[in-house]
Amino acid sequence: MATSSSSSKCGVRYIGNCGLKVSNLCLGAMTFGSTEGAMFHLPGQSDEAASHAILDKFVEMGGNFIDTADIYSAGRSESIVGSWLQKQAREQIVIATKVRFPMGAGPNDVGLSRKHILSAVEESLKRLNTSYIDLYQTHAWDDGTPIEETLSTLTDLVRQGKVRYLGLSNVTGWQLQKIIDLTKYKHYEPFVSLQVQYNLMCRETEWELGEVCKREGLGILPWSPLKTGWLTGKVTRSGAPEGSRVEHQGKDDTAKLPFLRDYAKEEQTWQILDVLKAVAEESGKSIPQVALKWLLHQETVSSVVIGAKKMEQLVDNMGAGDDSWKLTADQLKRLGDVSDIMPLYPYSIMDAVQVQRRRNGLLVL
């Protein structure tokens, strides 16, 4: 099976409706740094030297967009990116990070309050060794803080020049629309992107979040595009590779995320993998490349957040960003059909009654 060569270059796109251009593949830095003492405990993390080598190769292959978060490896991910950034031409790199989760034991060391955001952004700037953050994202909704407090604080950061653009992550449809509407009504700084789980095994994102982003001009940045390893082709009915995240979460009964082993019980999982394998063979590409390319064909997607613990993983994944090849209409239909899920109420009814009322692909009431 063919894979990408190291000479492959990924393309560039605008993020949503804003003027910022980024590589169509974004390097996620969640795998950088030891997770000892961190909120998320993950196997096979990269040390600083290995992380820098991956970052160097990513840029060499056309990447300019790097995503991290203060919570990743308890701040060590940001520090690793920051030490690497010192050796780069800063204006050529787009750095994204996030705020929301606990960074200490105090009652104000978590959330999206003005106090926590203002403290967190200063710490992120120090770790990243930069005077500004290109894309500052709220990592999840915070039910404990009035949304106006969060939005006004983020607006101040943009106007102070500490942040260039604003993004969201991990919100529901009503939360996303409420944020957008308040931003317009109160003249807060607008949001340009939504980072959310989206892949061939997670299509629920399309039901509301995708529709809101399409209508409001936000670019989607899919995380876990390979479903934590499920869509690499390495997981079989007999099990997952030793040391992989699928295998790790299959053993971890304390995991807060849905047990990935549960997907093995679903016949649709194996049907998706069968079609992925067939399309990969037809295209002369790897299974991960096809899974990533499917996302890049979705109109709301601006850049896909990939992660790599090994250099060969990165090089292969980067081949998906090469704009010189596309999936055919038939291949896209087969992948879409096999991964489709039956919508729940009210989406099922809304979709059915709007058949004759669609305008430019959007549902019209």
Locate 95 and state its tokens. 């750095």
Locate 168 and state its tokens. 């969201």
What's the CATH code of the domain at 269? Answer: 3.20.20.100
Confidence of residue 75 (pLDDT cuts 50, 70, 90): very high
Average model confidence (pLDDT) for the chain?
91
pLDDT in tens, 286-304: 999 999 999 999 999 999 9
Cβ atoms of 26 and 66 closer than 8 Å: yes
Selected residue with higher pLDDT from 280 and 257:
280
Residue 340 lies in a domain: yes
Mean pLDDT of 71-79: 96
Residue 1 lies in a domain: no
Percent of the chain with pLDDT over 70: 88
Cβ atoms of 235 and 291 closer than 8 Å: no
Cβ atoms of 159 and 189 closer than 8 Å: yes
The pTM score is 0.92
Rounded Cα distance between 228 and 241, Å, is 12
Mean pLDDT of 241-257: 52
What confidence score (pLDDT) does residue 7 get? 62
pLDDT in tens, 205-243: 999 999 999 999 999 999 999 998 999 998 887 665 555
* Number of continuous H segments (helices) and E segments (strands) in the chain: 12, 10
Cβ atoms of 13 and 303 closer than 8 Å: yes
pLDDT in tens, 316-330: 999 999 999 999 999
Residue 6 lies in a domain: no
Three-class SS state of 301: strand
Confidence of residue 262 (pLDDT cuts 50, 70, 90): confident
Confidence of residue 132 (pLDDT cuts 50, 70, 90): very high
What confidence score (pLDDT) does residue 35 get? 73
Residue 3 lies in a domain: no
- Count: domains in the chain: 1
Residue 130 pLDDT exceeds 80: yes
Residue 17 pLDDT exceeds 70: yes
Residue 242 lies in a domain: yes
Percent of the chain with pLDDT over 90: 79
Residue 6 pLDDT exceeds 80: no
Residue 275 pLDDT exceeds 80: yes
Selected residue with higher pLDDT from 253 and 106:
106
Residue 189 lies in a domain: yes
What confidence score (pLDDT) does residue 254 get? 43
Active-site positions read 72
pLDDT in tens, 149-185: 999 999 999 999 999 999 999 999 999 999 999 999 9
Residue 277 pLDDT exceeds 50: yes
Confidence of residue 110 (pLDDT cuts 50, 70, 90): very high
DSSP characters over 193-209: EEEEE-BTTB-GGGTTH
Residue 251 pLDDT exceeds 60: no
Structural domain that includes position 28? 12-357
Confidence of residue 1 (pLDDT cuts 50, 70, 90): very low
Residue 80 lies in a domain: yes
Peptide bond into 43 cis (omega under 30): no
Residue 7 lies in a domain: no
Mean pLDDT of 178-199: 98
What confidence score (pLDDT) does residue 44 get? 64
Rounded Cα distance between 323 and 329, Å, is 16
What confidence score (pLDDT) does residue 223 get? 98
